[in-house]
Amino acid sequence: MKSLADLEAIRNRTINKVGLRKEGTEETRIVVGMATCGIAAGARPVMQAFVEELQKRNITNAFVTQTGCIGVCRLEPIVEVYVPGQEKVTYVKMTAEKAAKVVVDHIVNGKVVEEYTIGNAE
- Residues lying near other proteins in the complex (CB under 8 A): 1-4, 7, 10-11, 13-15, 17-23, 31-32, 34-35, 47-48, 50-52, 55-56, 63-68
Under 8 Å CB-to-CB from 21, ≥6 apart: which residues? none
User: Residue 103 CB, nearest distance to other proteins (Å)?
Assistant: 14
Helix (H, G, I), strand (E, B) or coil at 103: helix
97: enclosing H helix or E strand:
helix 96-102
CB of 41 to other proteins, least distance (A): 14
Q: Closest distance between other proteins and the C-beta of residue 1, in Å?
A: 4
